[in-house]
Each structure stands twice: as C-alpha cells, then as structure tokens.
Amino acid sequence: MKVAEKNGIRLISLETDHLDALNSDEIKKNMISNSEGADKVVLNLGNISFIDSSGLGAILTVFRHIGSSNGQMVIAEPRESVRVLFKLVRLSHMIKVFDRESEAIASLQ
C-alpha cells in the first residue's frame, strides 16, 4: 500500500492484485490506519483487478470511518473488471468514482 500527501489530500494506492475474502480484512485495517488524520482521501484502485463483496465491504467501512470525522473520500482509476461490481451495486450513488487520479484530486480541492 502506497500512501502519499499532496496539497492536503491523502493518496492511498492499493498494490495488491485483488481485494477479496482472502485479504480484505487486513487491507481494511491498513486503509483505516493510513487515512487517520486526513479529511480528504483519494483511494486509487488502479492495480486491483478483482474486488468481491468483502472487498466492497472493506471500502465502505473506510468510507464510513472517514465520513464519521467529516472527511471526504473518492475512488480513482478502477479497472473495468472492478467497475462491473461498482455498477452492479450502484456504488456511484454513494462514493464518487473517477477515471483519473488527477480528476479525483481536483474534485476534492
């Protein structure tokens, strides 16, 4: 997991290939600890080729965590295979999803 800070916006990029029942718990904890203290977070999913329902649950948990301290979180660069899931559950009604990281950053500024 790569974490960077840019103009007060925290960039978290996941570096695993998948976010599924196998690793979602661990990654969820990491994401929560890495988003501590930030009120603007961009979650980059560019490396992820597969997310299942537990991975989705992990993302929603992080989103809730940030939202509880009045922060904002957006998702950037999901692959097509991940977008399928997002479409199925209509995630865009809840979390903004951007094709490019720069768009995501711009939306938070």
Partner 1 sequence: MKKRYRDFNIALKSHVGRQMFTSVPLLFFFLSFIFLVQSVFFVFYELNDKGLFPLEASLTGFVLFSSVAFMLRRKSHSNHYTLLNLILLLIFYIIQLYLIVFLQIRYLWSLLLLVQILFSYYLLNYRFFFSFSLLNILIYSYYLVIHLSNKFPLDSLLAMVFSLFLSFLIHRDRRKSLITLADSYEIQKEINNRFRQLEENISQVFLLVSAQMDQVFYVSSAFEKLMKISRDEFIAEPAVWRDFIYQGDRLRVDLEIDSAIQDHKARDFDFRLEGREGMSWLRFQIFPVRTAPERDVNRFAIIVDDITESKMAELKLAEARSLDGEMAARIQKNLLFSDFDVPLKGVDGAAESIPSLDVGGDYYDIYNFSPHIVDIIIADVMGKGRIAALLGAASKSAFMKARLDLTVAQQTIPPIDRIVAETCRSISGELMKMGKFITLQYARLDMDKETFEFVDKGHTSILHYSARQKCFWSLKGWNMPMGFNPDEKEIISIVPVEKGDVFFLYSDGIIEAENEEGEQFGERRLVYLLKNSVHLTSSQIINKIKNIIFHYSSADSYSDDITCIALKTLEAGEQKALRSIILEGRRESLQNLRSFAADYLDHEFSGILPDLRDALIIALNEAVANVIEHNYEKDPLLEGREIFLEAERKGNYCCFRLYWDGHEFDWSVVRAPDLSELKGGGYGVSLMKEIMDSLSYSSNIDGVQQLILIKEIFSLE
Interface with partner 1 (CB under 8 A):
18, 20-22, 28, 50, 52-54, 56-58, 60-61, 63-64, 67, 80-81, 84-85, 87-91, 93-94
Beta-bridge partners for 98: 76
Q: Which two tokens stand for residue 24?
A: 């979602």
Considering the complex, state which of residue 1 and residue 84 has its C-beta at the smaller distance from partner 1: 84
Q: Which is nearer to partner 1, 3 or 85 (CB)?
A: 85
- Distance from the Cα of residue 9 to its chain's centroid: 13
Please report how close the Cβ of residue 102 comes to partner 1 at its closest, in angstroms.
25
What tokens appear for 42 in the block? 């961009």
Helix or strand holding residue 62 (H, E): helix 53-68
